[in-house]
Amino acid sequence: MLNLFEEIKNANNIAISGHVRPDGDCVGSTLAIWNYAKDKFPEKQCDVYLTQPMPTMFSFLSGYSEIKYEYKAGEYDLLIVCDCNNVSRLDVHEAISDHAKRIIRIDHHEDSPVQQHFDETYANPKGSSTCELVYELIGDEDVTKEIAECIYTGIVHDTGVFQYDCCHKSTMIVAGNLMEKGIDTNYIIDETYYRKTFVQTRIMGRALAKAKLHEKGEFISTVITLKEMHEENASSKHMDGIVNQLRITKGTRIAIFLYETAPGEYKCSLRNNDDTDLNKVANAFGGGGHKKAAGFQSDLSSEEIIKRVIEEVRKQDV
Ligand code: 5GP
Ligand code: MN
């Protein structure tokens, strides 16, 4: 098993990073490790690099204000990649991996279909979240209240508040142990998971009002254009939760949510109510994720993307 303490001890300077469009698990896991490194080795240089836009609801997490968004040249002894199986998904921070002497990965995604070099990987695709794995690596007695807040946030987000199939007995035991650290679980669940800004409520309303059914209702889709985002003052950080709302529509099997990231470019999110492997579907478009939640970017038209997603799902049906 990866020895996180030794890894940090053996490095003089450490960079920690996670995937583009950081979510609760990505922010939680990187900041949990940052807090741990600061507790154990306060003299060491330790930097968290994430990409903008950074959701402000995570600003109560310890270390949030220290997050760096710009990497300037410089070599790190150790790069810790969290919640990400492919250094290209570090986006603007990919260059750090070219200047890191050692790269370790802590993750709950399947290995990337594109060959990747990591000096060591601690991954469990069955794990609820990267945060649950970080909890294992840190060990309960070194989990402070600040670290517990980070880890609990990641678990809550990646399990849909302890709901999805990836939430196991072990996840609940970890969550119970974290509660004992004195964290405010109601605050974390309500303020970071359920709370929506007015802009989010409006854009979700528009997305749901435009939803369409395909293939006798097996598939549900909706598309948000840049024009609509502009009209609502919305950006990519306001899109969370829309695909989950589509998924719970009665009778549907697969939810497809697209929003335009640049003219003619779409980000696609997929969710299912069945056993279709959405990671495989997303792989066909150069993306990835998990069996029940995956995504990709594409410059095909929105109609074409939806058609091809349906085709990829049909390939698994036979
Ligand atoms: P979401 O739909 O919430 O953005 O992402 C769901 C899951 O799919 C997450 O695990 C996320 O990391 C993964 N995912 C989303 N978009 C992409 C992508 O473009 N490439 C890869 N490799 N994974 C993605
Ligand atoms: Mn995750």
pLDDT in tens, 282-316: 999 999 999 999 999 999 999 999 999 999 999 99
How much is the pTM? 0.94
Task: Spell out the residues 6+ positions from residue 166 whose beta carbon is closer than 8 angstroms to its own.
Answer: 108, 126, 127, 128, 129, 158, 159, 290, 292
State the DSSP H helix or E strand holding residue 278, giving kind and residue range, or none if neither.
Answer: helix 278-283
**Which tokens go with 26?**
């990505």
User: What is the distance between the alpha carbons of residues 277 and 269, in angstroms, rounded to a whole number?
Assistant: 13
Ligand 2: distance of its center to the CA of 160 in Å?
A: 11
Q: pLDDT, tens digit, for every residue of 185-235?
A: 999 999 999 999 999 999 999 999 999 999 999 999 999 999 999 999 999
State the DSSP H helix or E strand holding residue 189, giving kind and residue range, or none if neither.
Answer: none
Q: Which of 130, 290, 291 to mutate to test the pocket of ligand 1 (most atoms within 8 A of CB)?
A: 290
Ligand 2: distance of its center to the CA of 109 in Å?
A: 7
Chain-centre distance of CA 287, in angstroms? Answer: 13
Burial class (CB in 10 A: 0-12, 13-18, 19+), 215: exposed
Query: Do 286 and 280 contact (CB within 8 A), yes or no?
Result: no
User: What is the distance between the alpha carbons of residues 258 and 306, in angstroms, rounded to a whole number?
Assistant: 9
- Ligand 1 site, CB within 6 A: 19, 86, 89, 269, 287-290, 293-297
